[in-house]
A and B are shown apart, each in its own frame.
Chain A
Amino acid sequence: MDENILELRSVTKSYVPGINVIENMNLSIRRGELVTFLGPSGCGKTTTLRMIGGFDLPDSGEILLHGQDIGQLPPNERPINTVFQKYALFPFLNIYDNIAFGLRQKKMDKDLIRQKVRHALTVVDLEGFEKRGIDSLSGGQQQRVAVARAIVNEPEILLLDEPLSALDHKMRLEMQAEIRNMHDNLGMTFIYVTHDQEEAMNLSDRIVVMANGVIQQEGAPEEIYDRPANIFVADFIGTSNIFAGVVTDKRRARFAGTTFKTNTELPAGTRIEAVIRPENVEITDPNDAAITATVTGDIYKGAYHEITAEFGKYEVTAHYRRHEEVGSQIGINFPRDSIHLMPHDMDTNVFEGVVSDDGSVDFTYFTLAFPADERTFRPGDKVTISFEPSDADLSDDEEAGFTRGNIDTIIYIGDHYTYIVRGDNDEEYYVDDDWLWNMGDRVSVVVAPDRFRLKV
């Protein structure tokens, strides 16, 4: 049962030349698995699904079904069916004819079609609805017809494109359980796309977290939640307290102004981000705690109180069974087992350029000029430049910085925000800033000249 039914190899897709929606994607899906593509809108999850379905073709790379490349086949030649986001039921056909549509394309025997449609209706719990028009159905029922219409063809893989997004919360939970049941009973491979992390957690054998056209992490729901690979995943899945810090010595790390015992195997000096889930934060008497904090907020969530508290320049969120008065002093502990450390991604803000004749350096996305006496390079030299996110600042004055873009991602890290600024040519800049900007804000990136690291 462990064989791979589907493999994506180095799949790349762009709609606009130069801007890749999917970048060099590699992914294997096992037979009978329920895999969820999870990520914010625009992360490429739907594009990936559409390429598997055949509605979009990859620019390069292979999509292998049982080892055969199907990447360039049209949808009707793939043994794959889709449940569309807005159901896409044919309004001019009744329920029976909608479900029978795929079988009739195969010129199947009429009695066999009737038998299969009946069975599909049983699976989705809509027996006796054959003659009804689709307008007479509720959203949830239309959803079931859409599922029946797809599974009746007995596809190798069933694709579901945010199928529950149009339903209300309660209905969504019910349908999640039903889809999971259906998957287990049919033994079919399901690939599910959603931006709802709770839905992904409820449904999946495996979650593939995507951002900016790149797979950030893949793994079982618990793995993704407990051991996120980087700050994107930690921030996107659930609420998180994220602090930047460094491993100080064996099994110890310093972050949020305090040194904590951790289970890390990372060598001393490694820059890290620490993740602590709010439900793991302990609130105690100030005298028994590593951190003393002031309560700034208490929101009652039914099962718990969501407490926010400040200490120094940091902020922490905790789930607590009791109310805490705003302004009161509390103790905060991060239990050793609940601290997850992620090595800081150093591969950011690195750009390659070529020195032009006038001594300035063309980095494709921007050009930098250096004072003549600081130049250690000659025209034609290849130069690599990098800067630390913490050395960069954002400005709303477009002329203030060396390059411009729009805020694409915001992640709160304990005492500051990490931003990804998307430049006009789809390049990314990582910038730490104390101020809160909005998604989409037009900014320029400012770096003091002496904070650039230059390599010839």
Chain B
Amino acid sequence: MKFKRSMLGIPYVVFLVIFVLLPLAVVFVFAFTDGSGRFTFQNFLGFFRSSRTIATLVYSLFVALVTTVICLLIAYPTAMALARSGFRRKNILLLMAIVPMWINFTLRVTALKEVLDAIEGNLAYHPFLNTIIGQVYDFLPFMILPLFNVLDEMDVSLIEAGRDLGADRRSLFFSVILPLSKPGIMSGITMVFLPAMTNYVVLDMLYNSTYIMGSLIGSYFNAYDWHNGSMISAILLLIIVLFSMLEKKGAAR
């Protein structure tokens, strides 16, 4: 058989089919069927009718939103400082901001738990605050990295053009630098917001008993309710698709 370049894609296609497309198909089949295997919308109707599941969705969105905003507020100045620092030290500084990502996740949250426990006395007093701290701690590098990239590669002549045309420091930031960093902000948000909606391990480990979307899936699956668990997964998938469409639209502008 003659070698073609397209054959290099075969391993990934196999992977894609077995571990992505097939499971996705299973999720959708289960999401739209009941216990006896009949097609139904009942799972979805149930989700939107139950105040408990809607409350979970709202809580998840809220946790993700607060996490994302705080990450952005911390990451933007950090990335700016990193990008503007002297040429040689820059990558070492960036490394210092990124290295926490390489430490095992469970280990990091366990360590955080001990610290918070020592400060607060009892973790149960501030479940929401602890959750946000844990989430921000976990996701911050994912926000810093895309922001650093976009700020680091920013065309200096555009900033000079802004100053040349009379922009003071404030105006320069809001009408030149911020619009130019939009692609970085958008990808930072996708890297943080969506995982933050489902990352229930942080909540579990920090003794926050409130459910988020991820914990909901877990609880259904633990109870062998494949249909409702798949339904929640399908809803999350829908949110992701909506979100990335919005992002594309924002980037195209």
Is A82 among interface residues, defined by CB-CB distance under 8 A? yes
Contact partner of B161 (CB less than 8 A), chosen from A80, A82, A92, is: A82
CA distance A106 to B168 in the complex (A): 10
Contact check, B179 vs A102: say whether CB atoms are below 8 A apart: no
Contact check, B158 vs A76: say whether CB atoms are below 8 A apart: no
Is A370 among interface residues, defined by CB-CB distance under 8 A? no
Given A92-B179, A92-B180; A102-B166 close (CB under 8 Å): yes
Please name the residue on chain A nearest to B167 by beta carbon. Answer: A105
CA distance A55 to B160 in the complex (A): 7
Given A90-B179, A92-B180; A84-B157 close (CB under 8 Å): yes
Distance in angstroms from A328 CB to nearest chain B CB is 54
Given A92-B179, A101-B175, A105-B171; A86-B166 close (CB under 8 Å): no
Q: Could you say which residues of chain B place their CB within 8 Å of the CB of A106?
A: 166
Contact check, B155 vs A76: say whether CB atoms are below 8 A apart: no
Q: Could you say which residues of chain A place their CB within 8 Å of the CB of B167?
A: 76, 101, 105
Within 8 A of A (CB), among B147-162: 155, 157-158, 160-162
Contact check, A84 vs B161: say whether CB atoms are below 8 A apart: yes
Distance in angstroms from B177 CB to nearest chain A CB is 11
Distance in angstroms from A255 CB to nearest chain B CB is 47
Q: Could you say which residues of chain A place their CB within 8 Å of the CB of B180?
A: 91-92
Contact partner of B163 (CB less than 8 A), chosen from A76, A85, A91, is: A76
Contact check, A149 vs B165: say whether CB atoms are below 8 A apart: yes
Q: Could you say which residues of chain A place their CB within 8 Å of the CB of B162?
A: 90, 101
Is B176 among interface residues, defined by CB-CB distance under 8 A? yes
CA distance A80 to B47 in the complex (A): 63
A residues at B contact (CB < 8 Å): 53-55, 74-76, 80-82, 84-86, 88-93, 101-102, 105-106, 149-150, 153
Cross-chain pairs A/B with CB under 8 angstroms, 19 sampled: A74-B163, A75-B160, A76-B164, A76-B165, A76-B167, A81-B164, A81-B165, A82-B160, A86-B157, A88-B161, A90-B176, A101-B162, A102-B165, A105-B165, A105-B168, A105-B171, A106-B166, A149-B165, A150-B164
**A-B interface contact total, Cβ < 8 Å:** 61
Within 8 A of A (CB), among B174-188: 175-176, 179-180, 182
Q: Is the interface of B mostly helix, strand, loop or mixed?
A: helix
B residues at A contact (CB < 8 Å): 155, 157-158, 160-168, 171, 175-176, 179-180, 182, 253
CA distance A60 to B164 in the complex (A): 22
Q: Could you say which residues of chain A place their CB within 8 Å of the CB of B165?
A: 76, 81, 101-102, 105, 149-150, 153
Q: Could you say which residues of chain B place their CB within 8 Å of the CB of A55?
A: 160, 163-164
Q: Could you say which residues of chain A place their CB within 8 Å of the CB of B164?
A: 53-55, 75-76, 80-82, 150
Q: Could you say which residues of chain A place their CB within 8 Å of the CB of B166?
A: 76, 102, 105-106, 153
Interface centre among B162, B163, B253 (most CB of A within 10 A): B163
Q: Could you say which residues of chain B place their CB within 8 Å of the CB of A74?
A: 163
